[in-house]
Structure 1
Amino acid sequence: MTLNRREFIFKTATATAASTAVAAAGGLALWPNRVFGQASTGGSATPELLEDAREAPTRLGIDNRIWNWRKDAAPGAMPANYYEASLSEWPSFGGLPGDLSCEVVIIGGGLLGASTALHLAEAGVDVVLIEKDHIGSGASGRNGGQMTPGLARWEAGTMLDNLSLADARRLWRFASVEAMDVIDGLRARHHFECDRKRGHITAAVHAGHMGALVENADARLRLGDSGVKIIGRHELKDQYVKSDIYFGAAIDSTGGQVHPLALLRGMVHGFVKLGGRVYDGTQALAIQEAPGSTLVTTEKGAITARKAVVLAVHSSTFQFMPGSSTTVPFFTYVAVTPPLPHPVRELLPADMPVYDTQLQIDYYRAVRNNRLLFGGQGTGNSWSPRDVNNYLLDRIKTVFPQLEKPELEYSWSGISDLTLNGATDSRKSAGDIPVYMVHGWSGHGVAQTVRIGRAISDDLTGRNNDFTMLTRFDHAGIPLGRHISPVAIPLIKGALGVMGMINPADMVSF
């Protein structure tokens, strides 16, 4: 059976918030006065994937809580992570030149912001996109690159348990086939490459987890999705993953993998070609409603939006949202090996990415030039490169002992966030000039982020009410959510770990 963690996480997080409330101070000062909820030339070069990663310093300004590491990098240097190093140089756009006016302002240059901007530009809407650092500095340029169906942690069974059959089928299609199709359509229309590959594996680390994989495949079939095949340990090892630690797997033809920074840059490039305006190094300070418009104030000027504002800043939404946060942030880690001494196909014959079913999941896939990308862990405090590298090397040796002495060439950290009920938190304000906001991806948002960007565009242009469907989920507030993760996440993981030892056949992942 699958362990339902939502009520447990809610109680733990709420109790932790209460215990830390006295120690925290301050408030949200960026919402005064009932604040709610010519084309760019920089970045105009087509993003190009290189045959292999190059040694280079990062050109992306990143959050000071996270880091990049590269073997043999000079002390104190901040090297490019693998994704940035495996792409051609890409010029910055430059900051906002002063006060501007447009139809829609998008705050945040990640996958959500870029997808929304590009789809709106395709519909003929005048859009300005601003990014406080550089395009790809945040989670959109630092994730594992695996594309899985579902709305964050809401899989098919969760949708059936919480929605009518018709609504569950609609939401599942939105978050699965349509999400993948939107990405493929953008690639075809705007002629960019992002190492898009199809297929995904969920590998069971315990025999009891096979039942949960069967239940999920059955739930997907109930929703009209026959894209999952359940296989045993021998077929898995012979044809998919050359490892002895798994008991079987679900083979998903809908999922896949992608170079996330290439996908992001490809969308931004398409947006610029259509006349979109992009300004990086431009941080939004406040969003203020006014009669007939909404004003976005930055350090370099103000932008007046005549139709809407889209808040696509992931882990910084607390700066603009009134009331309690609905997410808890956590740190994630990814690494890439040097080119392996033997063909990576000897490890992953089908060239599909893998998630496993342990509490703290491993995820991995082959990338260019015979390298292995491997990620795992979710922590409340940021781990050091040394600790991360030791952990991931140990996991690689556990999964693939035939590598004998694996090494890492790149590793990096990132920040994601989770909601208590596992679904993304999607909102639209009620004003004449609405503010759209989505966050809470729980580490599973690559494909769905792009799909939701299209849903925002469709809502604004009146094509459909897909975004309204996403706003109907109730999300409990987490007082001091961003402050409690160093305490709450270890407590939650520890308690779930104990429960897993008592009932190892229960499948739950963090």
Structure 2
Amino acid sequence: MNLLYANDRPGEYPRSYYAATATDLAAFPTLQGEVRADVCVIGAGYTGLSAALHLAERGYSVALLEAHRVGFGASGRNGGQVGSGQRLEQDELERMVGRDDARKLWDLSEEAKALVRGLIDRHAMPVTFHPGIVHACRTKAEVAHAHTNAEKLSRGYGYDQIQPLDRDAIRALIGSSAYLGGDLDQGAGHLHPLNFAIGLARACAAAGVRIFETSPATAVLPGPSSVVRTAAGHVRATHVILAANGYLGGLEPRVAAKVMPINNFILATEPLGSLAKNILSQPVAVADTRFVVNYWRLSDDGRLLFGGGESYGYRFPDIVRTVRKPMLEVYPQLRDVRIDYAWGGTLAITMNRMPCFVRLAPNMFSASGYSGHGVALATLAGRLMAEAIAGQAERFDLMASLPQPRFPGGTALRWPMLVLAMTWFSLRDRLGI
């Protein structure tokens, strides 16, 4: 089954709160016939848009192919959280790659957050960056770990933006008694994800990028002059960037073996009015410590945007039923609140939850598999691939050097094996283990 069309209509954004409140953006044309470019980028999410923009600013001619609309995939549907660090914590990275490279990875993650904010400011995007992400812990052990990690980042990495929270402090901040403590990262934040993608697309167009929507790539023929085919035409380019993430499908089996698409879901309530202050006393976002993470924040018009739940199949389930249950576990006082929007999307994970950077050929690059940590890191990935094409590959190569195992079972069996693993971990969540 093709995930590009399993749950969505061709060329249309899903019926989400983000789509309903997005800045208008006229559709870009469908690719027809032959187009020549220095670089062909496949996928107009954060990775592809950022790569295209940074390449165009370096003087490259760029053709950007999108199967639906810019920001259609995870980039326009996610929780909007711009988190600190990599997907793995620094102590894990130190064990994986050593202290020196772990420091480089931390510095890259800090650059990623700064890049997002800098792009918003430099291109006057219709996006507000709200500082603050709370990490909500369910057990005393998790609280102790969070506080120890905050101290490590302050002492070892000079990052002093994290405030430890005890049970009373987190309850006052998030209006729920479901958690025993955690921390507040004021150096992280949240934004309207689709408007950020639209802002990137506008910046790309202004820089001369030729964007083609409703133009899914059907084949990539590599070579010194590569050809990327679509249903109605093709792009002939010196370089190719794969930026399709969870919607890559069978386009590149070497990436698909290491990157798994999964689905996640979000609800948007009706505007909460005065009740909103009892949900979040400050305009921060929240993510908890469940394996199947619950994450939430208030929209600019006072709705609760709550993400979570899990499903194991290509088709989306009853989203309201799937997500309302964990929402009410956190906020039982919202039992009678109306749900105005419910949507799902496909992201991509890797075995070790670190992004998968691959140089597939001297002139072909790929970055994907951000494992729920992609707003900042995907934007940075685009910059790193642009650097690599320009001959400055050290930072891309650092990311590509991270160990990235294949999913067991190959492309045929990886999905049912993931189902078994996710079922086990979600059971642990329910049992409070």
- Shared fold (TM-score, shorter chain, > 0.5): yes
What one-letter code is carried by the residue in structure 2 that aligns with 1:436? F
- CA distance in 2 between counterparts of 1:404 and 1:421 reads 37
Which moves more between the two structures, 322-331 or 413-422?
Answer: 322-331
Q: Is 1:183 aligned with 2:116?
A: yes
Residues 310, 322 of structure 2: 8 Å contact kept: no
- CA distance in 2 between counterparts of 1:67 and 1:293 reads 33
Shift of 1:427: 0.7
Change (3 A) 1:196 1:322: same
- Residue-pair matches, total: 429
The percentage of counterpart residues that share the same residue type is 27
Residues 393, 407 of structure 1: 8 Å contact kept: no
Which moves more between the two structures, 317-326 or 480-489?
Answer: 480-489
What one-letter code is carried by the residue in structure 1 that aligns with 2:222? E
Aligned to 1:20: none
- CA distance in 2 between counterparts of 1:219 and 1:65 reads 44
Shift of 1:131: 0.8
After TM superposition, the score normalised by the length of structure 2 is 0.92
Which moves more between the two structures, 107-116 or 398-407?
Answer: 398-407
- CA distance in 2 between counterparts of 1:476 and 1:456 reads 21
Residues 66, 412 of structure 1: 8 Å contact kept: no
Aligned to 1:47: none
Match of 2:371 among 438, 442, 464: 442
Match of 2:301 among 360, 369, 382: 369
Q: Is 1:63 aligned with 2:63?
A: no
Shift of 1:377: 2.0
Which moves more between the two structures, 89-98 or 484-493?
Answer: 484-493
What one-letter code is carried by the residue in structure 1 that aligns with 2:5? N
For 1:471-490, list aligned pairs within 5 A.
Answer: 471-478=400-407, 481=410, 483-484=412-413, 487-490=416-419
- CA distance in 2 between counterparts of 1:367 and 1:373 reads 7
Q: More helix per residue: 1 or 2?
A: 2
Which moves more between the two structures, 277-286 or 77-86?
Answer: 77-86
- CA distance in 2 between counterparts of 1:343 and 1:482 reads 47
Aligned to 1:150: 85
Match of 1:268 among 176, 195, 201: 201
Residues 287, 320 of structure 1: 8 Å contact kept: yes
CA deviations over 1:319-340 (Å, ceiling 9, x no partner): 2324461122211101101111
Shift of 1:360: 2.3
Aligned to 2:382: 453
Residues 156, 223 of structure 1: 8 Å contact kept: no
What stretches of structure 2 of length at least 5 have no aligned partner? Answer: none
Q: Is 1:127 aligned with 2:62?
A: yes
Change (3 A) 1:499 1:362: closer
Q: Is 1:425 aligned with 2:327?
A: no
Q: Is 1:110 aligned with 2:45?
A: yes
Change (3 A) 1:351 1:248: same
Shift of 1:441: 1.6
Aligned to 1:379: 311
What one-letter code is carried by the residue in structure 2 that aligns with 1:394? K
Aligned to 1:213: 146
Match of 1:355 among 283, 287, 298: 287
Q: Is 1:321 aligned with 2:252?
A: yes
Change (3 A) 1:110 1:384: closer
Residues 160, 219 of structure 1: 8 Å contact kept: no
Runs of 4+ in 1 over 6 A off after TM superposition: 500-503
Aligned to 1:246: 179
Q: Is 1:92 aligned with 2:27?
A: yes
Residues 318, 325 of structure 1: 8 Å contact kept: no
Other structure's SS at 1:392 match: helix
Residues 409, 417 of structure 2: 8 Å contact kept: no
Residues 246, 261 of structure 2: 8 Å contact kept: yes
- CA distance in 1 between counterparts of 2:330 and 2:406 reads 38
Match of 2:171 among 232, 237, 253: 237
Aligned to 2:333: 402
What one-letter code is carried by the residue in structure 1 that aligns with 2:270? P
CA deviations over 1:245-272 (Å, ceiling 9, x no partner): 1111111122111111100010110110
Change (3 A) 1:352 1:132: same
- CA distance in 2 between counterparts of 1:281 and 1:287 reads 17
Change (3 A) 1:241 1:94: same
The structure having more radius of gyration, on CA atoms, is 1
Which moves more between the two structures, 360-369 or 281-290?
Answer: 281-290
CA deviations over 1:28-58 (Å, ceiling 9, x no partner): xxxxxxxxxxxxxxxxxxxxxxxxxxxxxxx
* Aligned Cα root-mean-square deviation (Å): 2.5
